[in-house]
Structure 1
């Protein structure tokens, strides 16, 4: 069965139940995620014994907000579209990923997943162990994000997937981000809070997000069937919480309008049809590296 066959077989009533948005689910999940960030940040700020060990934890908590921003592009995590857009834009400022641009980048990824036209394929996946280390470091990502924001701000970024009607808005957003980052740098003159609560943590946390994201489509066949070109990774409840259930990634690609909290239910319906899975992120990384020299 292909993903198209699965969708055709799904009764309309069940489809409606899966795509319904409930006001409280996303808000409670966001409260838990932000509570963890604030609690860890508070411990760092208070310089409790061993606080440097919390820096990568804080970084992981912050950079994995990307998975919520990703959901906000689909306007699924909250009942309010406006709240989805506001949260997505705020996260974009924290992780250098401008939200307006990312929405259209991501829509193109869904239209052409692992096929010609998928903008994710413009960034080549690591093919050697040395390339893997460079990729996982996160340094290419930060440099690419900085260049992207500058090009958007100066009106020089014109990808085919970014409609003309939104380019001015994307440029304004990028200029706001540049102003925010300039203020953050200036704040270092009188306080090192930004350095220890944000900048250093996200640098330390980004490698974990790189490893996570590589599993979504890395080494998947270049075919149009979502059951084959995308990977679901079986992992712990903690990782699923942190990643807003996006380890159920085949499920998300087959029905991107299903909110994060309904993905486990969707998984139960399609698990027998999944073609590409991994029994954890460590297992995926080992297998990925075993195919490379």
Structure 2
């Protein structure tokens, strides 16, 4: 069975149940995620004993807003389209990931998942040696690439085949607004270092954790069109599933992208007998990934 056959096997009632969107469920989950970020940030700002130890957890909580932004490109976390768009833009600003550009980049990834020369995620991003893995996981290539992309978009450059012409003015305007916002943030640091400690330094520290997480989604999967083979579901803890908005059920997400985060566990139950590529955890995946690599 391939992913198309599985989706075709679902009844109309099952499809309707699985794809029902909910503002309430999205907002409750967002409240929990933001509450964790604000709580950790408040403790850091207050300088509680041992506060430097909270920088990494704060960074992990912040950097996993990527999974929310990712979901917002599909407009599935919330039933209200505008809410998806504005939450996605806010996450994109915090993570140096322009939402309007990322929407089309990510939709191209879904259309051509793991297909060389088609999937934009495969453009020089997968480490092929252990040394490349260390550099990749550091997060430094990500920050450099996204800074370059944002500046190019703001200058009216960097158009790609997956970016539709009608969307270009909106993409460019967002990039320019982000650069202006970062300028204001930089100016604020002259008055107070607060944003450095509760946002900027933590996301730098948290980015390697996201790199480890993202490698598991498609790393070393077959370069075929079947989503049951080119995408990996990773079994993990409830906390990781919470922070990642249930995206460890990644095969499930690629098989049926219209399913919102809160229904992915249900989709997993229906699909689990057909999963072809899984991992027992992110450490286990990366350990095996490195074993398959030369120094």
Mapped to 1, the partners of 2:125 and 2:32 lie a distance apart of 35
Aligned position for 1:282? 283
Which residue is equivalent to 2:170? Answer: 169
| Aligned counterparts of 2:89 and 2:174: Cα–Cα separation in 1 | 9
Question: Is structure 2 residue 20 aligned with structure 1 residue 20?
Answer: yes
**1:123 shift after superposition:** 2.6
Is 1:222 aligned to residue 223 of structure 2? yes
Superimposed CA distance per residue, residues 149-181 of structure 1 (whole angstroms, 9 cap, x where no aligned partner): 000000011100001111111111000000000
Residue in 2 aligned with 1:267? 268
State the shift of 1:24 in Å. Answer: 1.0
Match of 1:148 in 2: 149
1:111 counterpart = 2:111: yes
Are 1:61 and 2:61 matched, yes or no?
Answer: yes
Say which SS state the counterpart of residue 285 (structure 1) adopts: helix
Residues matched between the structures, number: 293
* 1:199-257 Cα shifts (integer Å, max 9, x gaps): 10000000000000000000000000000000000000000000000000000001001
The whole-number CA distance in structure 2 between the counterparts of 1:161 and 1:23 is: 29
Structure 2 residue aligned with 1:9: 9
**TM-score under structure 1 normalisation?**
0.99
Gaps of 5+ in 2: none
Distance 1:166 1:123 in 2: 25
Give the match's secondary structure for 2:57: helix
Aligned partners of 1:75, 1:5: CA distance in 2, in Å? Answer: 24
CA distance in 1, matches of 2:126, 2:287: 16
Structure 2 SS opposite 1:209: helix
Residue 210 of structure 2 corresponds to which residue in structure 1? 209
Note the aligned Cα RMSD (angstroms): 0.6
Structure 1 unpaired stretches of 5+: none
TM-score by length of 2: 0.98
- Matched residues in 2 for 1:9 and 1:61: separation? 37
What SS class does the counterpart of residue 61 from structure 1 fall into?
helix
Cα drift, residue 269 of structure 1: 0.2
Looking at structure 1, the residues matched to 3 and 87 of structure 2 have their Cα atoms a distance apart, in angstroms, of 31
Match status 1:86 vs 2:83: no
**Structure 1 runs (4+) greater than 6 angstroms displaced:** none
Q: Cα offset for 1:22?
A: 2.0
